Copies of this chain bind each other. A is one copy, B any other.
Amino acid sequence: MAELRHNPLSGQWVIVHVEDSWGPEKYEREDHSILAKATCQFCPGREFFTPPEIEAVRRSPPGSRPNSPGWQVRIIPNKFPALRIEGDLDLRHDGMYTLSNGIGAHEVFIETPAHERNLADLNDDEMFHVIDKYQSRLNDLTKDRRFKYILIFKNYGESAGTTVEHPHSQIIALPMVPQYVAQELEGTQAYYDRYQRCVCCDMIAQEYRAGTRVITDNAQFLAFCPFASGYPFECCIIPREHTCRFDTMNDGEKYALGNILRETLAKIKGCLWDPSYNLYIHVAPVNDGPQEHFHWHIEIVPKLMRTVGLERGTGFFSVPTDPDHAARYLREAAVIARR
């Protein structure tokens, strides 16, 4: 029989198929052939096709000119932004409805100059620079007091919503806290009010005690498959020590994060035949006073199946793979260290 499991962070109930749990071989595979390199606007030498860069890591040669080749990581405004930086928010009413102007920021991290590479293939140094730039853009966008939430996310592969092959992730600054994050904040607060403890810290302790859902860890971070995963082979990467701060991570922590993120992605790639995935970093809201109870984390959701009507209509998810089973596959997947 399936189990109904409650996610103590988000409040969601999930149907988990603990019997007849599906292994990786049961899911559809997706082809990620490189098709668009010849016309890729994110490749070196085509910098003039994109909006001017906001920041870059320039390494070969160091100090090469902006908007020219020589970068390792390059950040540009999204050419087709969902929201725009210019203007007033102008929160207003139309009868019973509330609306505002579509103010926000939307930028793209080009993670590597190499079109054919993959975040999972970067070496530790390259990963460090990606994480470092995530932090740098987060901190810069936080200065704009109109923004209440900043989301860093990545869509990899066509079925996860990518329209550009070249390895990239995105950052979006929003004037409202998105609903899923608001739910996690509520879940965190409710747990704290009840037990005077952080729900994520308790989760980490229990995951270490059980051990069955642990994928990998290092001194600073744990990667595991959540007990009430909403998607098969869902992974969570979380700082082992309580912190709501992504913005103050030091170089050692950023290096450790890059390391476990790369390892987890490489395991997903190896185990599930390079699936499409979505990755998002859930940090606390910004410009809204301290959110000390919140424990930031990364959610990685391989796109192995379609979202169906039940989930779309209710938020009630049905997951064919037991998270214990998923974690065992991922734990045992061998990956090459890339130093």
Contacts and interface: CB of A to CB of B under 8 A. Distances in A.
Interface string A1-23: 11111101011110110000000
Contacts of A119: none
A280 B314 contact: yes
Interface in A1-53: 1-6, 8, 10-13, 15-16
A163 to B, nearest CB: 9
Interface of A: 1-6, 8, 10-13, 15-16, 82-84, 87, 94-103, 151, 153-155, 159-161, 170, 172, 174-176, 178-181, 183, 199, 202-203, 206, 209-210, 227-228, 278-280, 282, 299, 301, 306-310, 312-316, 318
Contacts of A179: 10-13, 183, 314-316
Contact of A299 (B94, B183, B313): B313
Nearest to A210: B95
A307 B178 CA distance: 16
A4 B310 contact: no
B309 A155 contact: yes
The 8 closest A-B pairs by CB, nearest first: A161-B308, A2-B102, A280-B313, A178-B314, A179-B315, A155-B309, A278-B309, A178-B316
B102 A180 contact: no
A1 B282 CA distance: 27
B95 A15 contact: no
A285 to B, nearest CB: 12
Contacts of A2: 82-84, 101-102
A315 B172 CA distance: 13
Contacts of A174: 316
Contacts of A161: 306-309
Name the residue among A96, A159, A206 with the largest chain B CB count within 10 angstroms. A96
Given A161-B307, A313-B151, A8 B178 contact: no
7 contacts: A3-B102, A10-B179, A82-B310, A153-B309, A159-B306, A179-B316, A280-B312
Nearest to A13: B176
A122 to B, nearest CB: 19
A59 B202 CA distance: 59
Contacts of A310: 82, 151, 153, 170, 172
B155 A308 contact: yes
Given A13-B178, A278-B308, A278-B312, 19 more contacts: A1-B87, A1-B101, A2-B102, A3-B99, A4-B99, A4-B101, A8-B97, A8-B98, A13-B176, A82-B310, A82-B318, A95-B209, A96-B199, A97-B228, A151-B310, A151-B316, A178-B316, A179-B316, A180-B313
A140 to B, nearest CB: 20
B6 A98 contact: yes
Contacts of A84: 1-2
